Every structure is written in structure tokens, then in C-alpha cells.
Amino acid sequence: MVLLSKGLLDDDRWDWDVERSDWKHYQSGFCDPTILRTTLSVFLNNLTLDEESGVVNYHDAKFRGFQYFRALIDPTYPIAKVSPPFDSAELDEPDWRVWEA
């Protein structure tokens, strides 16, 4: 939760006035498991690995996940305003209980 919060507040790509944020919406996002699960899915679905399985786009994938989270908690940043729009592959939530070999 701390990293999600820090990422939301500290990324220079945000056009977000922290002083004018509705903290009730922000707090409610952390209490909604659906929002958190899909946020994690967006982050993981955007990660890219190199040949040695090293992550090459951590900050961009993190930002993309934060875009989804913010769109659901910040009324001034509706999901329709997110650019580029989310596609179904980004929002796909795999069954986390199933592990493929």
C-alpha cells in the first residue's frame, strides 16, 4: 500500500493537485479488493522482461497501474480520460490460484 500511495503522489507525470484531492475516495480505493486486484493486474500485464527475465519497464508498468487506480478513485480523472485507453489485455485478471509450468 505504501508503494502504491507513494507512486500515486510522487510521479512527475501526474497532473494532480494533491491539496485538492478527495481523500475519502483515495482511502476507499485501498479498501476495495476489486480495485486493488485489477490495479495489480494492469501493472503485471504491462511488465516486459528481457532475455534474462529482467524487468525492462518497471516504472512505465507501475505508472499504467496507477493510472487505472487513480481513474477509479479520483473523480477529476475519469477512466475515459486515460491516454492511451486501457485495452482488454491490460485489464485481464488471471486466476491467481493457477500456476502454469
Question: Which pLDDT does position 56 carry in this prediction?
Answer: 97
Band (62; pLDDT cuts 50, 70, 90): confident
Question: Which pLDDT does position 29 carry in this prediction?
Answer: 78
Contact 15, 21 (CB under 8 A): no
Contact 35, 69 (CB under 8 A): yes
51-56 average pLDDT score: 94
Question: Which pLDDT does position 50 carry in this prediction?
Answer: 95
Residue pLDDT, tens place only, 8-50: 666 677 666 666 667 777 777 778 888 888 998 999 999 999 9
What is the rounded CA–CA span in Å between residue 73 and residue 21? 10
